Structures are given as structure tokens and as C-alpha cells.
Structure 1
Amino acid sequence: MRIRFGYVANALGLWDASPSKALTFARYSALPKHERMEKLKAVTSKNLQHTKRILHYNIAHEIKLYRFSSSLVPLATHPEVMWDFVTPFKTEWEELGQLIQQFQLRPSFHPNQFTLFTSPRAEVTMNAVKDMEFHYKMLEAMNALERGIINIHIGGAYGDKETSLARFHQNLKQLPHEVKKQMTLENDDKTYDVKETLNTCEKEKVPMILDYHHYMANQGEIDLTLFLQRIFNTWNTIPKVHISSPKSDQAYRSHADFVSFEFIHPFLKMAKELNQDFDIMIEAKKKNLAMLQLIDDIASIRGVKRLSGGEVEW
């Protein structure tokens, strides 16, 4: 069993490398009209430049998984802006894509919690479609559709899970087919548990990402050992799992700076029984530093062999 590791957005330790520099609509609106587009382009250019630096860091450390920032392009979906962020940066997007292809990286995006398909409000669904299309366009610009995914949660229950799930399936029909092909769903820590998310994924024929921390916070009566193989079977490529650990007992749903090996060890042993390769995305606050620490911890297990900077074999 081989496990590859990755992290989210920012490589800590790289100087001034945030790929999520922002431009608010208020700040944009306050600028003279002739300066607005230049400011949008300047912030986007910086974010793309920093992303390229981060990919080079990942390549140097043999880290195959990386979640791109959803804030790469400011105001990309704002109804009063909606600007062309691909054409002016065609070269930059292509350079990122070349790195992804050459070094066989596995890119992903994770839109925010407002990108959901369970809302009874039509404008929420419309905005969710718009946001998914925005992330799709970034993957497309990088020629990374074959490798990339866009992961979301099912959404809210609005006081009636059964009705909300039915609405999810109905609203999802508004998502263009080519965008849906990139989509994955993840169980959440409050509402839709592993079983509900898995059933939804199987019905929609989309892969499921297991979030182990969310499972531990919202497991109900479910025994994960009875579902893990089914979760992995939703993938036609290497399955992917999200890993983090609680900040504290009082803030159980919040992510800690690092990943507690003790917390995730039961899951690793469970996965070992399946003897199937899978990927782990680290969602700890310390990002790549937490990932490297966890790899060290796992590599210390008897029988585990470290294959590279970002991969182990058990």
C-alpha cells in the first residue's frame, strides 16, 4: 500500500508566497475606473507567480498533491466584475499546467462552504454553478482537467434532510456535465455523515473524499470499516482522503496546527487492511510543515518505508 501526501494552498517557510492575495469589491470600487483592471491583473499576477514558486517547492520535495487556492483570482465571480482572467495570463496558466503534467502532480480545488446545491433559493444554486464553472476554467486554463478535481460538501439540511437531499439531486442538474465530471463530494462535520454522502456519491456517480476528522466529529452509529471499501470504489483513479485532527476537546471541529498521529493511527490501520493505494490531503493549519511532520511519524511505524519526500509504502 502506497500513500502520497499533499497540503493546502500556502507553503509555509517560503518568504512572501501567499497565493491568496485579495482585492475586495469595496477597494476595487474605490479605485478610479481606469485603474481597476490593472489592479485586478496585478493581484492575480502575484498570486500566479507565488503559485508557481509553491509548485517548484513541491517538486523539489517530491510532493505530488496540492490544493490550489480558490482565491487565485480576485472578484472572478462578482456580478459587477466578472472579468476575463484567462486570456491576459495564458502563458502563466500554461506554465503551471506544464509543471503539473511534467511532474505528474495531482491538483485540486475546494470552493468555500457557500458553494452548495441544497438551498431552496435559486440564486444560491446559480452562484454555486458560477463558482464551480470558475474553478473549472482555472483547471482548463492549466490543461489539468484530466488530473484535477473540484471538491465540495453537500450543503445544509434546512430542517429537513430528506427534502434537502432530493433538492441537491435536482439542483445539481443545473451544473454543466463537463464541470460535474471534475466534482467530488466530502462528508462534513455537522450535517451529512459518511453514509449519507456515500449514498449521494453513488447515486450521482461522483467520487467521495473521506474526511476522517469530519467522520470522528459526525459519525453517528456508523462503523467506518463497513464503508471504507465502498468509498474507495467510487473512484476510477487513486482514492483521496482528507486528514486533520481536533484543535482541542472544546474546539473539536477546528483544525489543529499539526496532525495528531495518535488521532489518525486507527484510520491508517483500517486502511492497511484494504491494502489499497490512496492519497492524503493534510488540512492542518501548519500546512506543508504539518504534512512533513506526519510523514516522519508514519515512516517510524515498523514495516513502513519512505519512498520519497511525499510518499510512503506500508
Structure 2
Amino acid sequence: MIVRLGYVAMSVELQNASPSQTMTFAQFNKIKDRDAAIRKLERIAQSNLENCLRLLKHNVGNQIHFFRLSSRLIPLANHEDLSDWDYIKPLNEGLMKIGDYVKEHPIRIDFHPDHFVVLNTPNKGILTNALKTLLMHKKLLLGMSIGTEHRCVLHVGGGYEDKEKALEQFIRNWGYIQPAIQQMIMLENDDTTFSVKETLYLCEKLGIPMVFDYHHHLANHEEEDWQQDWERIVGTWKHSPLPVKMHISSPRSEKEYRAHADYVDPDMFLRFLIGIKGTIPEIHCMIEAKQKDAALFRLIEELQGRAGIKLLDQSSFEVV
């Protein structure tokens, strides 16, 4: 089984390369000339795209083939007072450069939109804003000429004091979502509300790939054994053009169990990998650790020389 590691949005090794520089609406409003304010927004967005490309080059230099893009590449892209701003057109060249680079090397990229993107909400306004945010992610992917299928990881959403009802609300809302947005989505089990079994219920019913988060499962498993459900999780990927994806992180401490640690505990990760060995040919593991790429490099270093681990490059190995 081949394991490829990735990391999230920012590098701690590469200096001055934030892809998430921003501008608040209050700052935007302070600029009296609206056109000048929009030009400034576009300059910030362009800088974010340039830094994103720098990060991808850093990844290729370090043989990293999996990366989560920042969802904050375009500041204020979804603001209701800027609905007339066509942000894709002025940023087209920067987006195409990223897309060309990703295809040339090749790198798996995806997004994890913010927690306010909730698809099981009973509130129509919140659902409309969530869909607007997903549409922005779709526009960014199309601007990069990257296939949009299974590129956005979401949590199921809120429990609203009745989880069963909340799951059915997700199904009801799903019917209002255009297929082009539906096909972008992957669902992840979370650390407080929806467990593996509950997330699987939606994934199997609606044909959505499930991203298994091991740390979330340990924090919120209601006596469930993830290994009993692993085959079903893998089954949700059978129609996807991409390999199975999971998230790996470690608890910061026993007291702050849900918080992510700076690095990944290699023993915890190995327990998971040994548990799935032989079930799939390849898995992509997104590291959600505070130290980003440094956590990836340390994990590879700590796995090197372990029994049953054969390094393939600086971010990939085989479990034999």
C-alpha cells in the first residue's frame, strides 16, 4: 500500500509566502474611490496566488504531491456588497499558472471551506451563503482548469439538538443543490457531533466520498470501531477519480484532546496504517498539524527505518 502525505495551506519552512493575506470590509470602505479599493483587493488576491504558486514549487522541490489550498485566496470574494465584482477575470493569469503547474508535476490539490459552510442548516440564508462559498471554490478550480470532482471537504454541519433530524435536513437540502456543486463535495466525520457511522449514512445514501479523520474518530466515536466500517468508507470512493483520502493529526494533550498538536505521533499513525494494510492500493493522508510542512518532514524522518516501511520519496512510502 502506497501512502502519500500532504499538508494544509501554509508552510512554516518557506518565509513570507502567505496565500491568505486579507482585507476587511471596513478597510475596503475607508478607500473613498470604490474602483481603487477593488484594484487593491485584486493586488492582494494576486499576491496570494503568487504565494500559492511558490508553495507548490516548494512542495515539488520536496517531493510533496498532496496539498490543501487556502480558501482565503480572494479576500471579500463573497461579500454581499461586492456581488458585482468579477474577481476571476483580473486573476485569470495567476489561476492558470497554478493550474498548469499542478498538472505538469502532478499534485493533488483540494479545499476545506470554512466551518460556516453548513449544508444541513434549516436556515435558508445560511444555506444560500454556503452555496455561494462553494460556487467561489468551483470558480477558482475552473479558473485553474482543474477537475472540480471531489475537491471540497465539508463537515456534516450542526446537530441542532436532534442529530437524526439534522441528517434528514442534510438530505432535504441536498436536493436543492445543483449537481455541479454536489460532485465537488466530500464529507468528513467530526470531533464533536457526527461520528463515522452517521457520516457514512449520508455518504452512502447520497453517493459522497467519505474522508476518514482518525483523530476526530478517537475524540467522538460513541463506542464505534472504525475498522468495522473501513470497507464501507473505502466503498464510498469507488466512483471517484481520486484515491481514498483521510486526515491525520494528534491530540495536543489529554486535557485538550480535540486540539491539534504541533506534530503527528508516528505510533498513532502507524496503528492506523497497519489496521488498513492490504485493503487499498494507495491512500492520501492530509496532515492537520500546527507545524504544517515541518510536521510532514518530521513524520517521514520518524517513520524511516521502522519495520514494514519503505520510503519512496520525501513524502511517500510503502507499507509492506
Question: For the aligned residues, what is the CA RMSD?
Answer: 1.2
289, 297, 302: which one pairs with 1:284? 289
Hey, what's the Cα distance between the residues in 1 that align with 2:27 and 2:243? Answer: 42
Hey, what's the Cα distance between the residues in 2 that align with 1:182 and 1:206? Answer: 9
Q: Is the aligned partner of 1:126 residue 2:131?
A: no
3-state SS of the aligned residue for 2:312?
A: strand
1:146 Cα offset (Å)? 5.4
Q: CA offsets, 1:58-106, max 9 Å, x none?
A: 1111111110000000001111113212111111111100011111211
Q: After the TM superposition, which parts of structure 1 deviate over 3 Å for at least 4 consecutive aligned residues?
A: none
203, 228, 231: which one pairs with 2:230? 228
Q: Look up the match of 1:80.
A: 81
Hey, what's the Cα distance between the residues in 1 that align with 2:24 and 2:314? Answer: 37
Hey, what's the Cα distance between the residues in 1 that align with 2:149 and 2:58? Answer: 19
1:262 Cα offset (Å)? 2.5
Q: CA offsets, 1:84-137, max 9 Å, x none?
A: 121111111111000111112111000011101121111011111111111111
Q: Look up the match of 1:202.
A: 204
Contact 1:107/1:144 (<8 A) preserved: no
Contact 1:145/1:182 (<8 A) preserved: no
1:298 Cα offset (Å)? 2.3
232-241 or 47-56, larger mean C-alpha shift? 232-241
Q: CA offsets, 1:186-238, max 9 Å, x none?
A: 00000000000011101110100000110000011111111112111211331
3-state SS of the aligned residue for 2:45?
A: helix
1:180 Cα offset (Å)? 1.1
Residues 205-284 of structure 1 mapped to structure 2, 5 A cutoff? 205-235=207-237, 236=240, 237-284=242-289
248-257 or 82-91, larger mean C-alpha shift? 82-91
Q: Which amino acid aligns with 1:251?
A: E
3-state SS of the aligned residue for 1:279?
A: strand
140-149 or 85-94, larger mean C-alpha shift? 140-149
Percent of aligned pairs with the same amino acid: 36
131-140 or 174-183, larger mean C-alpha shift? 174-183
Q: Is the aligned partner of 1:51 residue 2:56?
A: no
1:296 Cα offset (Å)? 1.9
Q: Look up the match of 1:40.
A: 41
Q: Which amino acid aligns with 1:108?
A: D
Q: Look up the match of 2:4.
A: 4
1:264 Cα offset (Å)? 2.4
Q: Look up the match of 2:303.
A: 298
286, 298, 313: which one pairs with 1:308? 313
How many residues get paired?
A: 314
Q: Which amino acid aligns with 1:68?
A: L
Contact 1:118/1:165 (<8 A) preserved: yes
Q: Look up the match of 2:175.
A: 173
Give the gaps of 5 or more residues in structure 2.
none
Hey, what's the Cα distance between the residues in 1 that align with 2:80 and 2:149? Answer: 29
Q: Which amino acid aligns with 2:71?
A: S
TM-score by length of 1: 0.97
1:172 Cα offset (Å)? 1.8
Q: Which amino acid aligns with 1:298?
A: L
Contact 1:129/1:174 (<8 A) preserved: no
Contact 1:115/1:127 (<8 A) preserved: yes
Q: CA offsets, 1:148-197, max 9 Å, x none?
A: 61110010010111111111111122222112111100000000000000
Hey, what's the Cα distance between the residues in 2 that align with 1:182 and 1:190? Answer: 24
Q: CA offsets, 1:252-288, max 9 Å, x none?
A: 1100111111332321211215253100000000000
Hey, what's the Cα distance between the residues in 2 that align with 1:138 and 1:173? Answer: 24
TM-score by length of 2: 0.95
Residues 40/146 of structure 1: CA separation in 2 closer, same or farther (3 Å cut): closer
1:297 Cα offset (Å)? 2.0
3-state SS of the aligned residue for 1:308?
A: coil
Residues 66/147 of structure 1: CA separation in 2 closer, same or farther (3 Å cut): farther
1:300 Cα offset (Å)? 2.6
